[in-house]
Amino acid sequence: MTPICRELMTLRRLSHHVLMLATLSSVACHAQTVMRKATPVDAHAAAGKVTAPTLPTGAAELEIDRKQIMSLSVTPALTLVPVRFSKNGDTAGPPFHQCGLATVNDTGETHLIVTFGTDWTEAESCVSLSAIGTAESKSKYPALILIYQATTGHESFPEPVLLKWKAGSGMYELDAERSQWITTQQLPYTIPNIRRLLAKKAAESK
């Protein structure tokens, strides 16, 4: 075999390896985290991990929204369980309800985040979770959008809440700043609307 032929074969092999690396890189860069409804088996297993001891002190009457138990396509797997519970403390009067989101991984480790009826929404009672979705899909643990139906006792209204992933603790937490900013925007509260709003804000801040 002549030197020229050997060089051509070497170039072909290199080109093949470069093409394969480019293809693998493209697949990795376009991997997306997807939220979907949990399977009945996964939903049942995750709901079974959310019990009274996981609730804040003084909470009672745990309600699990089994129709909106979702899963995130991450590794390890993460199941999201929406909950509602009453918490009157030492006060009299009608029940005051908080809402939360329990995260259950594939080892059964469970964390509960109180998402409504606390912080800037502490004066409001949670009626129900209307919708849940991701703010985007490029991050492994994307921000979560939750839209609640709330009441002050005199009127009922929708209220959006945003959760962000905190890598240090390996848990979701309230994103108070962006949640309250969303409420200042004049738009119907839907998952697509809030997703577009956050994307626009992110683009403008670059």
Residue-level pLDDT at 6: 52
Q: Provide DSSP, 109-174.
A: -EEEEEEESSGGGTTSEEEEEEEEEES-SSSSS--EEEEEEEE-SS-EEEEEEEEEEETTTTEEEE
Work out the average pLDDT over 52-67. 88
pTM: 0.81
In this predicted structure, what is the pLDDT of residue 187?
A: 87
pLDDT at 100: 96
- Token pair of 143 as six digits: 């921000």
pLDDT value of position 93: 63
Task: Give me the residue spans of the domains in the chain.
Answer: 1-30, 32-204
- pLDDT 10s digits, 139-179: 899 999 999 999 988 889 999 999 999 998 889 999 999 99
Among the ranges given (74-78, 93-97, 115-119, 202-206), the one the predictor scored with the smallest mean pLDDT: 93-97
Please give the pLDDT value at position 53.
82
